[in-house]
Amino acid sequence: MAAATSIWCASCNLSSQTHKKQSYPILPSLHQLETHLHHFELSSKFKIPMALHLSLHLLRQCGHVECLYNLSLDDLCSRIGEFDALVVRSGTKAATEFGCLVVNAPTANTIAAAEHGIALLTTMARNVARADASMKAGKWERSKNVGVSVVGKTLAVMGFGRVGSEVARRGKALGMRVIAHDPYAPADTVRAIDDQGSALHQRCSWRLVDEDSLLRALDSGIVAQAAVDVFSEEPSSGDASRLAQHENVISTPHLRASTKEAQEQVAVEIAEAVVGALRGELSATALNAPIISPQVALAEKLGRIAVQLVAGGTEIQSVKVPYASPRDPDDLDTRILRAMITKGIIEPISDAHVNLVNADFIAKQKHLRISEEKVATSSPVDQRVESIQLQISGAESRFESTLLDNGRISIQGSVKQGVPHLTRVGAFSVNVSLEGNVILCHQWLLGWMKNLMKLPSKKIGEVPAIYECVYLHL
């Protein structure tokens, strides 16, 4: 990152004419970096605009920050060349062909969105909005506002991503029977929500709902009630406006992520992404780069494990990396994964800062040779990489159990339910989450033995004993 880095926090709305088909470049440009940010007004409705303070604090640690709001397209174009990074509201389009890396904050508001979906569901089931309006009109209409219990009811979820799975957990907790449809959701994710195979989902966006058809269904009684948070036109107009004003519709103005906590988390997440990109780090939330996440995190963690398994005084010089994937080898770009493996191996033991741009160069400087192999599997084609294995040659191991018969140190990992896992150590199958630091232990069992007083032999039970142990800092 340059010594004098400038970051521009702007509020603007560019025409969609500036957005063209993405070409998915490999290398981001720091001087034309554009980042999406969920919009915060300086005059936040919360008394303390903590979200803004948190993000600006993080950004100012790496460069000069200017905040400008309500810019026109001409104003933006006249000044954009002065800055290394641009933080803008989500309405802005970015031109990939100019090398702009676009990142967002997809996880920070997940819980807020799930909570809002459940809030709309229970409000609709118990006629809360209608009863509240009746009370404010000076009426007491208990019999007109009898609701239904959600226990035992079926909740269908179209799509089973981050928000959908969180809604699923909450729906199950309410005693609902939940079902889901998502052609891309891994089966183990669904099983994690419900061991018996049922699942659930979030409120769908307007793109999945024909508003005119929904209006007709409500008028005819085919659909008894609806709760809508996202409209085809916002602020709503036309069919969207008629839908929002329908007596059997509960409507909210796109509030799914509008909590104080979610906006603070979004601010922090986007600021961290900008700082990381300016430092040349790979972003797991990039929208227009071929980032394979969370396999990217898995690759770096395996590299970190590998370098810590090598006994002191021994340098890693040769690593073989088999990737298990259902993709055609020509359709599997592993440059990012190789860069992250290099980063994991080199950074913990040197002052070098490794990123996608310099990974191969630094590996050559450090005499590290990484050879790659692509192994075909029968997994669903949408799963790009099923597992990553690292085999280290010519190095002494701190943990003998990692050694294969050919003398190579071997570790293997995969992603389960979106989390990197260590799945094999040497010839041993394991299942270890890599979300924190790890202690690897190899136990052996004591069975029959004699005590020190030379009493008759007796079984003292199966007593575990540590054969070897290693602590791995991730």
Secondary structure element (H or E) that encloses residue 169, with its range:
helix 162-173
Per-residue model confidence as pLDDT tens for the chain (474 residues): 444 556 666 544 333 333 333 222 223 333 333 333 333 333 333 344 566 777 888 888 888 888 877 778 788 788 888 888 888 765 556 555 565 777 888 788 889 999 999 999 999 999 999 999 999 999 999 999 999 999 999 998 888 888 888 999 999 999 999 988 877 666 555 655 555 433 323 344 445 678 888 889 889 999 888 888 888 888 877 767 888 889 889 989 988 888 888 888 888 888 888 888 777 666 667 776 655 568 888 999 999 999 999 987 677 889 999 999 888 877 788 888 999 999 999 998 888 888 777 888 889 988 999 999 999 888 765 567 889 999 999 888 888 889 998 889 999 999 988 889 999 999 999 999 998 888 888 875 444 333 333 434 444 444 456 678 888 888
Report residue 407 as tokens: 């003398």
Superfamily of domain 295-472, CATH level 4: D-3-phosphoglycerate dehydrogenase; domain 3 (3.30.1330.90)
- Nearest Cα neighbor of 337 from 377, 389, 392 is 389
**How far from chain centre, in Å, is Cα 282?**
14
Domain spanning 110-251: CATH 3.40.50.720: yes
Using alpha carbons only, how large is the chain's radius of gyration in Å? 27
How far is residue 445's CA from residue 426's CA, in Å, rounded to a whole number? 20
- Nearest Cα neighbor of 269 from 108, 97, 28 is 108
Report residue 137 as tokens: 């009109």
Paired sense of beta strands 226-228 and 249-251, if any: parallel
Paired sense of beta strands 438-449 and 458-472, if any: antiparallel
pLDDT at 36 (0 to 100): 31
Show Cβ contacts of residue 103 under 8 Å, excluding neighbours closer than 6 positions: 35, 36, 270, 273, 274, 277, 283, 285, 286, 287
How far is residue 347's CA from residue 324's CA, in Å, rounded to a whole number? 26
Question: DSSP characters for 201-241?
Answer: -PPPPGGG--HHHHHHHHHHTSS--EEES--SSSS--THHH
What are the domain boundaries of the chain?
Answer: 6-105+259-278, 110-251, 295-472
Secondary structure element (H or E) that encloses residue 471, with its range:
strand 458-472
**φ, ψ for residue 52 (rounded to 5)?**
-65, -45
pLDDT at 99 (0 to 100): 59
pLDDT at 330 (0 to 100): 77
Report residue 21 as tokens: 């088909």
pTM of the model: 0.55
- Give the residue ranges of DSSP H helices in 194-333: 211-220, 239-244, 260-278, 295-309
Q: Provide the sign of the torsion angle of the four alpha carbons 107, 109, 115, 117, taken in this order.
A: negative
